[in-house]
Chain A
Amino acid sequence: MTEDTRDAVLVAQGLNKSFGGLQAATDLSVSARRGEIHAVIGPNGAGKTTFVHMLSGFLRPDSGKIEFQGHDITDLSPAARVRRGLARSFQITSVFREFTVLENVVLPVQSRQGHSFRFWRPALNDPTLLEPARALLEEVGLGDRADAVAGHLAHGEQRQLEIAIALATRPSFLLLDEPMAGMGPDENRALIDFLGELKTDRGMLLVEHDLDAVFALADRITVLVYGRVVVSGSPDEIRKDAQVRNAYLGETQM
């Protein structure tokens, strides 16, 4: 399977990863383009989260190469990748539960502004942190919840905050690991719309179980099964692909 790597921002080439005897990624190659949503789907255990961990630097591939904006980032730490503009969200909600909503987004804003070896001035009196943080919360629809403690938010709001934290680093490319996880249909609808608006100015790699969301949003889709790319193509091509129907979509009505 060859991928068209022209205009690609994020390119994974031949990634392999195994845990003990379990092969979680085999010769995995995916390339995602600027201004597009590239969805990665697959049944449970297909290695989707492992893939996101490798792209974001939390897992090191056994072999293979990851390029971002033309640079080899395979050996960079997670933090260094974020500073280059590659941010991620988490499947399991990973907000700072004891912090207020505002503090949750102040931290990434602070990270964007350079090092944090500043010991004396209170961070929460600093308008250069608070203004962008508040603006971002307005943007994602959490403006009126700024002072709530994150751990007390409803599940849907926590999912919004999850994405807001990633967005606050001003990424040029966003890795979203199952943003819809555990959300109701109404909340889903709103989030799909929101993600659709986001894609105009950045690239996105979307790992998702919810196929409605995937087909509503994705420009390209890659199907993973047991850590391998089964097929990659436009939503129409994927819909028609017999291999995909058998391997994965099976009984799902399309």
Chain B
Amino acid sequence: MDYVLLVEQLLNGFQLGIILFLMAAGLTLVFGIMDLVNLAHGSLFMIGAFVGGTLALATDSFVLGAVLMVPAMFVIGVLLETIALRTLYRRSHLDQVLATFGLILFFNEATRLIWGPEGLVIPLPDFLEGTVALGAGITYPLYRVVIIGVGLLVALGLYLLVAKTRFGMLVRAGASNRTMAGALGVNIPALFTLVFGIGAVLAGLAGLIITPITQAAIGMGEDVLILAFVVIVIGGIGSVRGAFIAAVLTGVIDTMGRSFLDLLLLLVLPANAAEAAGPALASMLIYILMAGILFFRPQGLFPPRGATVIQ
């Protein structure tokens, strides 16, 4: 097996993991703290790509567009929370699923109306083009290195925010025990809005950052959303650390499976069978992983404390 390809695919998997983490981090906090099923989180991924992309095209600078996207997504997130989602906290999960499904339909159609059905192509600025030599004969696209770097920085920042600040303490308290957080005299609605705004920024960032590689398309957030669900289930609802580890695990396994599974199968199966079964099995790999983890740990790898108390 070619080790250069192996390292490259490993990095690709890690990069996918980073994108998944940006999606899952906000989602897991919203699930854990507010007990809200928010399908529209995938729409935020898409809106981030379109809004950030439009800003980048308007300012003629991808970096400036990305920077401006942050407050824009925060405002969109806060508006979405205060107008539509706030009323859903006390509703059943079924109501939440339905209402946020309705929001997806709305956002997809609104995007089609504003930006047209073709989507948006965001060119990569020149200074982000090219490749980096990683030594030992391995080169890797510069922009993907940037994605990984940005993702790691955000993960670090988020870790510090949740683990080291008063805000983070409240978030953690809210995730394990809402009444206690209320008893501490916390303004719960404001905390929720803030958390949701941050989640929106992270989702938008993930959407924008991937756009130069793919392109901004309607419904682009939906497959990522479902993968993020898998990540959250594996990592444990409400746990940012769990989301990070599970996201990287999912990204790497998915990517490696798609690249190398048919080669592995060749060791045990005849060629034509391996060729047929490889892609099929690769596409199922992470779901099998999820099922396996659930079977042994129904609460995920890192359940937040307090989640195991019955009744």
> Count the A residues whose beta carbon is within 8 Å of the partner chain — how many?
6
Interface positions of A from 48 to 89, Cβ below 8 Å from B: 53, 58-59
- Report A's interface with B, CB cutoff 8 A: 19-20, 53, 58-59, 92
Residues of chain B lying within 8 A (CB to CB) of residue A20: 305
Write the nearest CB–CB distance from B302 to chain A, whole angstroms.
14
Interface positions of B from 275 to 311, Cβ below 8 Å from A: 305, 308-311
Q: How large is the interface on B (under 10, 10 to 19, 20 to 34, 35 or more residues)?
A: under 10
A58 and B310: CB pair below 8 A?
yes
List 7 A-B residue pairs with CB atoms under 8 Å apart, sorted by A's residue number.
A19-B308, A19-B309, A20-B305, A53-B310, A58-B310, A59-B310, A92-B311
Per DSSP, chain A at the interface is: loop
Residues of chain A lying within 8 A (CB to CB) of residue B311: 92
Report the Cα distance A58→B310, complex, angstroms: 8
Chain B's closest residue to A59 (CB) is: B310
Write the nearest CB–CB distance from B192 to chain A, whole angstroms.
26
Report the Cα distance A92→B311, complex, angstroms: 9
Report the Cα distance A160→B248, complex, angstroms: 53
Report the Cα distance A58→B139, complex, angstroms: 56
Write the nearest CB–CB distance from A39 to chain B, whole angstroms.
22
Residues of chain B lying within 8 A (CB to CB) of residue A19: 308-309
Residues of chain A lying within 8 A (CB to CB) of residue B309: 19
Report the Cα distance A58→B309, complex, angstroms: 11
Write the nearest CB–CB distance from A182 to chain B, whole angstroms.
16
Report the Cα distance A59→B311, complex, angstroms: 11
Report the Cα distance A133→B311, complex, angstroms: 27
Write the nearest CB–CB distance from A215 to chain B, whole angstroms.
29
Chain B's closest residue to A49 (CB) is: B311
Report the Cα distance A20→B303, complex, angstroms: 12
Report the Cα distance A28→B44, complex, angstroms: 53
Interface positions of B from 39 to 97, Cβ below 8 Å from A: none
Chain A's closest residue to B310 (CB) is: A58
Write the nearest CB–CB distance from A104 to chain B, whole angstroms.
19
Report the Cα distance A177→B311, complex, angstroms: 14
Chain B's closest residue to A94 (CB) is: B311
Residues of chain A lying within 8 A (CB to CB) of residue B305: 20
Report the Cα distance A53→B310, complex, angstroms: 9
Residues of chain B lying within 8 A (CB to CB) of residue A59: 310
Residues of chain A lying within 8 A (CB to CB) of residue B310: 53, 58-59
Chain B's closest residue to A53 (CB) is: B310
Residues of chain A lying within 8 A (CB to CB) of residue B308: 19
Report the Cα distance A92→B310, complex, angstroms: 12
Report the Cα distance A59→B310, complex, angstroms: 8
Write the nearest CB–CB distance from B176 to chain A, whole angstroms.
11
Write the nearest CB–CB distance from A19 to chain B, whole angstroms.
7
Report the Cα distance A59→B308, complex, angstroms: 11
Chain B's closest residue to A92 (CB) is: B311
Chain A's closest residue to B311 (CB) is: A92
Write the nearest CB–CB distance from A176 to chain B, whole angstroms.
16
Report the Cα distance A53→B311, complex, angstroms: 11
Write the nearest CB–CB distance from A162 to chain B, whole angstroms.
14
Report the Cα distance A19→B303, complex, angstroms: 13
Report the Cα distance A95→B309, complex, angstroms: 20
Chain A's closest residue to B309 (CB) is: A19
Report the Cα distance A154→B96, complex, angstroms: 31
